[in-house]
Protein backbone atom coordinates (compact mmCIF):
# COMPACT_ATOMS: atom_id res chain seq x y z
CA UNK A 1 0.00 0.00 0.00
CA UNK A 2 1.24 3.50 -0.85
CA UNK A 3 -0.71 5.08 2.02
CA UNK A 4 -3.19 7.78 2.85
CA UNK A 5 -3.09 11.30 1.48
CA UNK A 6 -5.04 13.60 3.77
CA UNK A 7 -5.97 16.98 2.31
CA UNK A 8 -6.87 19.86 4.56
CA UNK A 9 -6.98 23.64 4.67
CA UNK A 10 -9.45 26.41 5.37
CA UNK A 11 -12.84 26.68 3.66
CA UNK A 12 -12.93 27.16 -0.10
CA UNK A 13 -9.19 26.93 -0.75
CA UNK A 14 -9.50 24.04 -3.22
CA UNK A 15 -9.32 20.86 -1.10
CA UNK A 16 -12.03 18.98 -2.99
CA UNK A 17 -10.66 20.07 -6.36
CA UNK A 18 -7.22 18.82 -5.39
CA UNK A 19 -8.65 15.58 -3.94
CA UNK A 20 -10.51 14.89 -7.19
CA UNK A 21 -7.48 15.69 -9.34
CA UNK A 22 -5.33 13.52 -7.04
CA UNK A 23 -7.66 10.53 -7.52
CA UNK A 24 -7.32 10.79 -11.29
CA UNK A 25 -3.57 11.50 -11.14
CA UNK A 26 -2.95 8.49 -8.90
CA UNK A 27 -5.05 6.15 -11.04
CA UNK A 28 -3.06 7.22 -14.10
CA UNK A 29 0.19 6.73 -12.18
CA UNK A 30 -0.84 3.12 -11.51
CA UNK A 31 -1.53 3.75 -7.81
CA UNK A 32 -4.98 2.14 -7.92
CA UNK A 33 -7.19 0.87 -6.57
CA UNK A 34 -7.96 4.09 -4.76
CA UNK A 35 -10.37 4.70 -1.92
CA UNK A 36 -11.65 8.26 -2.02
CA UNK A 37 -13.07 9.39 1.32
CA UNK A 38 -15.36 12.36 1.47
CA UNK A 39 -14.89 13.29 5.12
CA UNK A 40 -16.50 16.71 4.79
CA UNK A 41 -20.24 16.84 5.51
CA UNK A 42 -20.57 19.79 3.13
CA UNK A 43 -18.42 18.47 0.39
CA UNK A 44 -19.10 17.32 -3.13
CA UNK A 45 -16.22 15.04 -3.96
CA UNK A 46 -18.78 12.71 -5.54
CA UNK A 47 -19.66 15.38 -8.11
CA UNK A 48 -15.99 15.97 -8.92
CA UNK A 49 -15.57 12.21 -9.41
CA UNK A 50 -18.83 11.80 -11.32
CA UNK A 51 -20.48 9.33 -8.96
CA UNK A 52 -23.55 9.44 -6.76
CA UNK A 53 -23.43 8.62 -3.09
CA UNK A 54 -26.69 7.02 -2.03
CA UNK A 55 -25.93 6.59 1.61
CA UNK A 56 -23.51 8.37 3.91
CA UNK A 57 -22.10 7.16 7.19
CA UNK A 58 -24.17 9.82 8.99
CA UNK A 59 -27.30 8.30 7.47
CA UNK A 60 -26.22 4.78 8.42
CA UNK A 61 -25.74 5.91 11.98
CA UNK A 62 -29.29 7.28 12.09
CA UNK A 63 -30.74 4.10 10.65
CA UNK A 64 -28.78 1.95 13.08
CA UNK A 65 -30.21 4.01 15.94
CA UNK A 66 -33.75 3.43 14.67
CA UNK A 67 -33.16 -0.29 14.18
CA UNK A 68 -31.72 -0.53 17.67
CA UNK A 69 -34.80 1.23 19.05
CA UNK A 70 -37.06 -1.30 17.30
CA UNK A 71 -35.04 -4.22 18.64
CA UNK A 72 -32.24 -5.94 16.77
CA UNK A 73 -33.12 -8.96 14.64
CA UNK A 74 -31.40 -12.32 14.20
CA UNK A 75 -28.58 -11.91 16.72
CA UNK A 76 -26.83 -9.11 14.81
CA UNK A 77 -25.09 -6.45 16.89
CA UNK A 78 -25.37 -2.72 16.20
CA UNK A 79 -21.71 -2.65 15.23
CA UNK A 80 -22.13 -5.58 12.80
CA UNK A 81 -25.18 -3.93 11.28
CA UNK A 82 -23.25 -0.70 10.78
CA UNK A 83 -20.32 -2.54 9.20
CA UNK A 84 -22.65 -4.27 6.81
CA UNK A 85 -24.32 -1.02 5.83
CA UNK A 86 -20.97 0.70 5.34
CA UNK A 87 -19.89 -2.03 2.95
CA UNK A 88 -23.16 -1.48 1.07
CA UNK A 89 -22.70 2.30 1.01
CA UNK A 90 -19.36 2.10 -0.78
CA UNK A 91 -19.69 3.44 -4.33
CA UNK A 92 -17.63 1.12 -6.48
CA UNK A 93 -16.00 1.99 -9.76
CA UNK A 94 -13.37 0.16 -11.75
CA UNK A 95 -10.36 2.15 -10.53
CA UNK A 96 -11.65 3.79 -7.38
CA UNK A 97 -14.31 3.53 -4.71
CA UNK A 98 -15.86 6.36 -2.74
CA UNK A 99 -17.24 6.52 0.76
CA UNK A 100 -18.86 9.62 2.24
CA UNK A 101 -19.17 10.65 5.84
CA UNK A 102 -22.18 12.88 5.43
CA UNK A 103 -23.90 14.67 8.23
CA UNK A 104 -25.48 12.89 11.15
CA UNK A 105 -29.14 13.82 11.16
CA UNK A 106 -30.96 15.01 14.22
CA UNK A 107 -29.36 15.82 17.51
CA UNK A 108 -25.97 14.52 18.51
CA UNK A 109 -22.38 15.14 17.61
CA UNK A 110 -20.18 13.77 14.90
CA UNK A 111 -18.25 11.62 17.38
CA UNK A 112 -20.09 8.41 16.68
CA UNK A 113 -19.97 8.88 12.89
CA UNK A 114 -16.27 9.71 13.28
CA UNK A 115 -15.58 6.59 15.29
CA UNK A 116 -17.51 4.43 12.87
CA UNK A 117 -15.66 5.98 9.94
CA UNK A 118 -12.37 5.47 11.72
CA UNK A 119 -13.07 1.78 12.30
CA UNK A 120 -14.41 1.27 8.81
CA UNK A 121 -11.47 3.12 7.26
CA UNK A 122 -8.98 1.06 9.17
CA UNK A 123 -10.46 -2.14 7.78
CA UNK A 124 -11.25 -0.86 4.29
CA UNK A 125 -7.87 0.80 3.69
CA UNK A 126 -6.16 -2.58 3.57
CA UNK A 127 -7.96 -3.32 0.28
CA UNK A 128 -6.56 -0.27 -1.50
CA UNK A 129 -3.21 0.96 -2.66
CA UNK A 130 -3.95 4.59 -1.83
CA UNK A 131 -6.57 6.41 0.22
CA UNK A 132 -7.40 10.04 -0.64
CA UNK A 133 -9.09 11.83 2.23
CA UNK A 134 -10.92 15.09 1.48
CA UNK A 135 -11.35 16.71 4.88
CA UNK A 136 -13.59 19.45 6.13
CA UNK A 137 -11.89 22.77 6.83
CA UNK A 138 -9.56 22.62 9.82
CA UNK A 139 -8.05 19.69 11.63
CA UNK A 140 -11.08 18.15 13.31
CA UNK A 141 -10.88 14.83 11.46
CA UNK A 142 -7.15 14.56 11.74
CA UNK A 143 -7.08 15.37 15.42
CA UNK A 144 -9.63 12.59 15.90
CA UNK A 145 -7.26 10.33 14.00
CA UNK A 146 -9.91 9.10 11.60
CA UNK A 147 -7.06 7.99 9.38
CA UNK A 148 -4.30 6.09 11.11
CA UNK A 149 -1.05 6.14 9.15
CA UNK A 150 -1.18 9.33 7.10
CA UNK A 151 1.57 9.05 4.48
CA UNK A 152 1.17 12.61 3.20
CA UNK A 153 -0.56 15.51 4.89
CA UNK A 154 -1.39 18.12 2.25
CA UNK A 155 -2.10 21.62 3.54
CA UNK A 156 -3.87 23.74 0.94
CA UNK A 157 -3.96 27.52 1.07
CA UNK A 158 -4.79 30.57 -0.97
CA UNK A 159 -2.06 32.66 -2.52
CA UNK A 160 -2.91 35.68 -0.37
CA UNK A 161 -1.31 37.17 2.72
CA UNK A 162 -4.24 35.95 4.77
CA UNK A 163 -4.08 32.50 3.18
CA UNK A 164 -0.40 32.08 3.96
CA UNK A 165 -0.86 33.27 7.55
CA UNK A 166 -3.75 30.82 7.96
CA UNK A 167 -1.70 27.89 6.71
CA UNK A 168 1.08 28.81 9.15
CA UNK A 169 -1.46 28.64 11.99
CA UNK A 170 -2.79 25.34 10.65
CA UNK A 171 0.74 23.93 10.68
CA UNK A 172 1.29 25.12 14.25
CA UNK A 173 -2.00 23.56 15.28
CA UNK A 174 -1.16 20.26 13.59
CA UNK A 175 2.13 20.25 15.46
CA UNK A 176 0.46 21.09 18.77
CA UNK A 177 -2.17 18.38 18.26
CA UNK A 178 0.55 15.92 17.31
CA UNK A 179 -1.18 15.05 14.04
CA UNK A 180 1.06 12.34 12.67
CA UNK A 181 2.18 12.00 9.06
CA UNK A 182 5.23 10.80 7.18
CA UNK A 183 5.54 13.70 4.74
CA UNK A 184 4.16 17.20 4.75
CA UNK A 185 3.18 18.96 1.52
CA UNK A 186 1.75 22.39 0.84
CA UNK A 187 -0.25 23.49 -2.20
CA UNK A 188 -0.48 27.25 -2.60
CA UNK A 189 -3.54 27.35 -4.81
CA UNK A 190 -4.77 29.77 -7.47
CA UNK A 191 -1.41 31.52 -7.85
CA UNK A 192 -0.80 34.01 -10.68
CA UNK A 193 2.04 31.99 -12.17
CA UNK A 194 3.97 28.76 -11.70
CA UNK A 195 6.39 30.28 -9.20
CA UNK A 196 5.60 30.35 -5.50
CA UNK A 197 4.45 33.86 -4.58
CA UNK A 198 7.02 35.88 -2.63
CA UNK A 199 4.93 35.50 0.53
CA UNK A 200 5.11 31.69 0.38
CA UNK A 201 8.84 31.36 -0.29
CA UNK A 202 9.61 30.94 3.41
CA UNK A 203 7.22 27.99 3.83
CA UNK A 204 9.66 25.14 2.98
CA UNK A 205 12.11 26.30 5.65
CA UNK A 206 9.38 27.10 8.17
CA UNK A 207 7.62 23.74 7.74
CA UNK A 208 10.84 21.76 7.15
CA UNK A 209 9.59 20.28 3.89
CA UNK A 210 10.77 20.64 0.31
CA UNK A 211 7.27 19.76 -0.95
CA UNK A 212 5.67 23.17 -1.44
CA UNK A 213 4.14 23.98 -4.82
CA UNK A 214 2.18 26.70 -6.51
CA UNK A 215 -0.95 25.57 -8.36
CA UNK A 216 -1.84 28.38 -10.76
CA UNK A 217 -5.35 29.69 -11.20
CA UNK A 218 -6.75 27.44 -13.91
CA UNK A 219 -9.72 28.75 -15.93
CA UNK A 220 -10.48 25.24 -17.17
CA UNK A 221 -10.83 23.94 -13.59
CA UNK A 222 -13.13 26.85 -12.73
CA UNK A 223 -15.23 26.25 -15.83
CA UNK A 224 -15.48 22.49 -15.18
CA UNK A 225 -16.60 23.07 -11.64
CA UNK A 226 -19.18 25.66 -12.74
CA UNK A 227 -20.71 23.24 -15.20
CA UNK A 228 -20.51 20.23 -12.86
CA UNK A 229 -18.14 18.26 -15.09
CA UNK A 230 -15.87 15.66 -13.56
CA UNK A 231 -12.09 15.48 -13.24
CA UNK A 232 -12.11 12.50 -15.59
CA UNK A 233 -13.41 14.71 -18.40
CA UNK A 234 -10.47 17.12 -18.16
CA UNK A 235 -8.06 16.82 -21.06
CA UNK A 236 -4.90 14.85 -20.22
CA UNK A 237 -2.80 17.97 -20.75
CA UNK A 238 -4.72 20.08 -18.25
CA UNK A 239 -1.92 22.02 -16.50
CA UNK A 240 -3.25 21.45 -12.95
CA UNK A 241 -3.56 17.72 -13.52
CA UNK A 242 -0.07 17.51 -15.03
CA UNK A 243 1.39 19.55 -12.19
CA UNK A 244 -0.28 17.52 -9.45
CA UNK A 245 0.82 14.27 -11.10
CA UNK A 246 4.44 15.40 -10.92
CA UNK A 247 4.02 16.58 -7.33
CA UNK A 248 2.38 13.36 -6.14
CA UNK A 249 4.96 11.20 -7.85
CA UNK A 250 7.58 12.73 -5.52
CA UNK A 251 5.41 12.13 -2.48
CA UNK A 252 4.24 8.54 -2.88
N1 LIG B 1 -6.44 26.07 -9.22
C2 LIG B 1 -7.70 26.47 -9.38
N3 LIG B 1 -8.02 27.26 -10.44
C4 LIG B 1 -9.29 27.70 -10.62
N5 LIG B 1 -10.31 27.43 -9.81
C6 LIG B 1 -10.04 26.66 -8.73
C7 LIG B 1 -8.74 26.13 -8.46
N8 LIG B 1 -8.80 25.40 -7.33
C9 LIG B 1 -10.09 25.46 -6.91
N10 LIG B 1 -10.83 26.21 -7.74
C11 LIG B 1 -12.27 26.54 -7.61
O12 LIG B 1 -12.48 27.11 -6.31
C13 LIG B 1 -13.73 26.71 -5.79
C14 LIG B 1 -13.54 26.08 -4.41
O15 LIG B 1 -12.80 24.89 -4.58
P16 LIG B 1 -13.11 23.59 -3.69
O17 LIG B 1 -14.55 23.31 -3.62
O18 LIG B 1 -12.20 22.54 -4.20
O19 LIG B 1 -12.61 24.11 -2.27
P20 LIG B 1 -12.74 23.40 -0.86
O21 LIG B 1 -11.53 23.78 -0.08
O22 LIG B 1 -12.98 21.94 -1.05
O23 LIG B 1 -14.02 24.10 -0.27
P24 LIG B 1 -14.86 23.66 1.04
O25 LIG B 1 -14.07 24.11 2.23
O26 LIG B 1 -16.15 24.41 0.86
O27 LIG B 1 -15.03 22.17 0.99
C28 LIG B 1 -14.34 25.75 -6.80
O29 LIG B 1 -15.26 26.44 -7.59
C30 LIG B 1 -13.14 25.32 -7.66
O31 LIG B 1 -13.50 25.00 -8.97
MG1 LIG C 1 -14.48 20.66 -0.19
Q: Which ligand has the minimum distance to the alpha carbon of residue 44?
A: 2
pLDDT score at 109: 59
Gap between the Cα atoms of 103 and 62, Å rounded: 10
Domains and CATH numbers, the chain: 3-251 (3.40.50.300)
Question: What residue owns the CA closest to ligand 1's atom 12?
Answer: 14
pLDDT score at 62: 79
Give yes or no for a contact between 134 and 37, defined as CB atoms under 8 angstroms apart: yes
- Comparing CA positions, the residue from 243, 241, 186, 238 lying closest to residue 212 is 186
Is there an atom of ligand 1 within 6 Å of 38 CB? no
Is there an atom of ligand 1 within 6 Å of 40 CB? yes
pLDDT score at 118: 78
Looking at the CA of residue 134, tell me the nearest atom of ligand 1: 22
Looking at the CA of residue 12, tell me the nearest atom of ligand 1: 23
Per-residue pLDDT tens listing for the chain (252 residues): 679 999 999 999 999 999 999 999 999 999 999 999 998 887 789 999 999 998 888 888 778 777 766 665 566 777 777 778 888 889 999 999 999 988 765 555 556 666 776 787 788 888 999 999 999 887 877 777 777 789 999 999 999 999 999 999 999 999 998 999 999 999 999 999 999 999 999 999 999 999 999 999 999 999 999 999 999 999 999 999 999 999 999 999
SS3 letters across the chain: CCEEEEEEECCCCCHHHHHHHHHHHHHHCCCCCEEEEEECCCCCHHHHHCCCCCCCHHHHHHHHHHHHHHCCCCCCCHHHHHHHHHHHHCEECCCEEEEECCCCCCCCCCHHHHHHHHHHHHHHHCCCCEEEEEECCCCHHHHCCCCCCEEEEEEEEECCHHHHHHHHHHHHHHHHCCCCCCEEEEEEEEECCCCCCHHHCCHHHHHCCCCEEEEECCHHHHHHHHCCCCHHHCCCCCHHHHHHHHHHHHHC
Looking at the CA of residue 156, tell me the nearest atom of ligand 1: 21
Tell me, in angstroms, the distance from the centre of ligand 1 to residue 225's CA.
Answer: 8
CB within 8 Å of 78: residues ≥ 6 apart: 64, 67, 68, 72
Question: What residue owns the CA closest to ligand 1's atom 25?
Answer: 11
pTM above 0.85, yes or no: yes
Tell me, in angstroms, the distance from the centre of ligand 1 to residue 166's CA.
Answer: 17
- Comparing CA positions, the residue from 124, 203, 125 lying closest to residue 159 is 203
pLDDT score at 103: 73
Is there an atom of ligand 1 within 6 Å of 179 CB? no
pLDDT score at 10: 93
**CA 94, chain centre distance (Å):** 19
Amino acid sequence: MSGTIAITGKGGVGKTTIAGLAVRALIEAGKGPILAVDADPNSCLDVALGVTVLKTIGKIREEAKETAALGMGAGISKQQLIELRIAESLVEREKFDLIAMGRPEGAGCYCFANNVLKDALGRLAANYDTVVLDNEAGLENLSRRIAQDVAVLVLVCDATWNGIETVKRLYELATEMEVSYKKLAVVVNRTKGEELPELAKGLPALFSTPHVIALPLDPQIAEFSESGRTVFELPADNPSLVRLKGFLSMLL
